[in-house]
């Protein structure tokens, strides 16, 4: 499958279209680097009339005959509430994770929070119930979690060259895109979750466990090396993606991990962790 950039937009920059294809490839690759199975992607070019556009080729993970069921359709059959399958209220999602019978609920809950933490790292504003789910093998009568896909809403895909330069040179502009937006598509009390606020005071033990699992896996040098090798993008873009990801790591995820250990635990003289509560 080829993912094309949106057409018909007019911007007075060399990046005349949004960078969702680039975000798709980079974000999917980083998920794989961090040990969360994601779709396999490649960047390439495609000739459209007189224009050459950067596109993202996404490997079909149903090519072996497995069927894909999105979480939206599953959630819709489980919960007897006013919220339909597309509703992204966190309590409803967690209830559906627990009640579904496709895969082990504990494993699925861990996967959900692991993806949430990486989405926080990458600034994903559109991980809704329709772009993740399960693969079902009719022959084996077994289901598994589908690879992560549809990551085009990560990494500020509408940032043009001017925005990239501003983020690289203005700390206030960078901080706004870390602390204020983008927000998650998941809601709490009717409002989209702010990643920084939520992870700074997270009350869900499963989310805390995901932070403890995932944050130590993040190797910024490995990510920088990967970004330097991404084809078809400029040095400005490479610098921007590296700076943006590193800022979200240092300003959101590392403090969240440190806060968990600081608030929830202390060490006794033998080095054993003891709850402060």
pLDDT tens-digit series, residues 213-258:
999 999 999 999 999 999 999 999 999 999 999 999 999 999 999 9
pTM here is: 0.89
Give the C-alpha separation, 138 to 154, whole Å. 33
Q: Which of 185, 206, 212, 244 is nearest to 30 (CA)?
A: 244
Dump pLDDT digits (tens) for 69-78.
999 988 888 7
Give the pLDDT of residue 85. 73
Q: Are 201 and 192 in contact (CB under 8 A)?
A: no
Q: Are 148 and 19 in contact (CB under 8 A)?
A: no
Angle of helix 105-122 relative to helix 205-214, nearest 10 degrees, comes to 60
Dump pLDDT digits (tens) for 127-151.
999 899 999 999 999 999 999 999 9
Q: How sure is the predictor about 79, in pLDDT bands with cuts at 50, 70 and 90?
A: low
Question: How many other C-beta atoms lie within 10 A of the C-beta of residue 216?
Answer: 9
The overall average pLDDT reported for the chain is 89
Q: How sure is the predictor about 44, in pLDDT bands with cuts at 50, 70 and 90?
A: very high
Q: What is the DSSP string of the chain?
A: -EEPPP-S---SSS--S--HHHHHHHHHHHHHHTT--B--EEEEEEEETTEEEEEEEE--TTTTSPEEEEHHHHHHHH--SSS-TT--BHHHHHHHHHH--SS-HHHHHHHHHHHHHHHHHHT-S---TTS-EEEEETTTTEEEEPPB---TTSS-TT--HHHHHHHHH-HHHHHIIIIISPPPS-EETTEEPPHHHHHHS---HHHHHHHHHHGGG--HHHHHHHHHT-TT--HHHHHHHHHHHHHHIIIIIHHHHHHHHHHHEEE-TTS-EEE--
How many residues does the structure list for the chain? 277
């Amino acid at each position: 499958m080829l993912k094309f950039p949106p057409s018909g937009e007019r911007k007075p920059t060399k990046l005349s279209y949004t960078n969702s294809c680039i975000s798709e490839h980079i974000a999917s690759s980083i998920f794989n680097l961090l040990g969360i199975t994601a779709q396999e992607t490649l960047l390439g070019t495609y000739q459209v009339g007189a224009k050459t556009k950067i596109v993202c080729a996404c490997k079909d993970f149903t090519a072996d005959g497995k069927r894909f069921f999105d979480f939206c359709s599953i959630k819709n059959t489980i919960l007897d509430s006013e919220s339909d399958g597309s509703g992204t209220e966190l309590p409803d999602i967690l209830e559906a994770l627990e009640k579904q019978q496709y895969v082990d609920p504990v494993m699925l809950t861990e996967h959900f929070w692991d993806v949430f933490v990486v989405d926080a790292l990458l600034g994903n504003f559109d991980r809704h119930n329709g772009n993740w789910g399960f693969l079902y093998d009719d022959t084996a009568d077994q289901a598994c979690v589908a690879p992560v896909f549809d990551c085009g809403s990560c990494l500020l895909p509408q940032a043009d060259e001017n925005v990239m330069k501003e983020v690289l040179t203005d700390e206030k502009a960078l901080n706004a895109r870390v602390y204020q937006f983008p927000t998650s598509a998941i809601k709490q009390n009717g409002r989209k979750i702010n990643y920084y606020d939520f992870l700074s005071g997270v009350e869900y033990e499963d989310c805390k466990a995901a932070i403890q699992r995932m944050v130590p896996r993040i190797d910024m040098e490995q990510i920088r090396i990967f970004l330097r090798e991404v084809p078809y993008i400029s040095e400005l873009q490479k610098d921007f993606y590296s700076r943006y990801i590193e800022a979200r790591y240092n300003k959101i995820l590392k403090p969240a991990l440190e806060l968990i250990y600081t608030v929830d635990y202390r060490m006794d003289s033998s080095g054993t962790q003891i709850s402060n509560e």
